[in-house]
Amino acid sequence: MIPASGSYQLANARVHRSLTPGLAAPFDADGFALAELLVADGKIASIVAQAKSKAPADAIDLAGRIVLPCFVDCHTHIDKGHIWPRKPNPDGTFMGALNATGADRAARWSAEDVARRMDFSLRSAYAHGTKALRTHLDSVPPQEEISWPVFETMREKWRGRIDLQAACLLGIEGVRDKAWFERLAKRVAAAKGVLGVVTYMVPDLEELLDQVFAQAIEHGLDLDFHADETDDVAAISLKKIAEASLWNSFEGNILVGHCCSLARQPDLEVLDTLDKVAKARLAVVSLPMCNLYLQDRRNNGTTPRWRGVTLLHEMKARGIKVAVASDNTRDPFYAYGDLDMLEVYRMATRILHFDHPVGDWPRAVAATPAEVMRLDGAGTLAAGGSADFIVFKGRNWTELLSRPESDRIVVREGRAIERQLPDYAELDELMVG
């Protein structure tokens, strides 16, 4: 359907208002309008509202199929991905995940093991239509010396297909070893990475956050936190991060993931935290599938009663940038997943109510994470931008989000890619023993 020449006109493409900046078109109540796209030399030469007159005979008539920009997945763990067969989570809990992953990492995460699983993950993400992805890298000694070089090699290998970013991942106590943490920050800076830690309520949290911010400022790094991935109402590290950002006058980008406990706290406390998050210009990413899996798991014969996700609606209403992302895939933190951002959006729609109205929620899997990751122009369809988009079968939200859309067409730089998902059997030999 998409000519290999890379130069063509698409007619009757259904595009969304939230992802087509500058397009003047009669958008409907769902935010959709029909558009004509001219593609040439790998770029979108023009995008205009569909003319009433008949499209030229050589135009490709998409007959109202939805066309979205390629996805941006801003929170993943491709160093952990796909270890499930050899290291399942024994009880589906957060602690079960932490312990199982720690044991697997210590025993099995050689450079080759990490590289092969990463590549497998990236082939899936690419086939599903993702063009940029940030992964966290477990950076507990000695893993940082293994995984960061693998990541740098992988980024080169995937350049032009997936823009890769990495953030280091360690518990906030790791920052207490000042000299080691400073070395890690230097290593991250050398790899043009992002400085990341997991925050929870340790007595010296404020002091440790100050050290994190000091290193980020020293090395010119953006920040990425895992915060409050728990139902414990006493977990308020999101607020502490916002405060630390304000008193350190931090100017870089900060992305905070999870923030589950916020949804369990009293309204007044929540309002105070959100005001600070907005003032400090933090962006928040929710990981709905992983949260649904780990949060409120009871293992006592009773049924979970909350969804685990944070307060994205309240955040967006305050102008806080919000995204959703994949998080873990087939590892002890989440037994499922394939880095398919359409699945993430479909699940987020159900879990977080991204509907009635849909509004500008589609930005949460494309334009907004692209801004947080400083990827100019990614996650939108605009004249002059790269012709990176996905043509779906669905012509409206209910069609798009009811089927897996396994037959979607992914176009990169104007040409349809081969969408071959890797075979699980490729990983079998890594799973033995």
* Span 179-238, contacts to Zn ion by CB under 5 A: none
* Contacts (CB under 5 A) with Zn ion, residues 314-333: 327
Contact 212, 223 (CB under 8 A): yes
Q: Which of 36, 144, 229, 343 is catalytic?
A: 229
How many residues comprise the chain?
433
- Angle (CA) 276-280-285 rounded to 5° is 90
Q: Which two tokens stand for residue 167?
A: 């953030």
CA distance 191 to 18: 33
Which CB, 87 or 412, lies closer to Zn ion? Answer: 87
* Alpha carbons 207 and 199: distance in angstroms, whole number: 12
**Least spacing, CB of residue 80 vs Zn ion, in Å:** 9
Radius of gyration over alpha carbons of the chain, in Å?
A: 22
Closest to Zn ion by CB, 334 or 397 = 334
Maximum CA extent, the chain = 70
Whole-angstrom distance, CA of residue 91 vs CA of residue 89? 6
190: nearest Cα among 169, 220, 146, 211: 220
Q: What single DSSP character describes residue 26?
A: -
Q: What sign has the CA pseudo-torsion 317, 221, 334, 160?
A: positive
229 is catalytic: yes
- Partners of 15 in the β-ladder: 33
**Residue whose Cβ sits closest to Zn ion:** 327
CB-based contacts of 179: which residues, under 8 Å, 6+ apart?
none
Question: In a 3-state reduction of DSSP, which class is residue 145?
Answer: helix
Residues annotated as part of the active site: 229
Q: Which residues bind Zn ion (CB under 5 A)?
A: 327
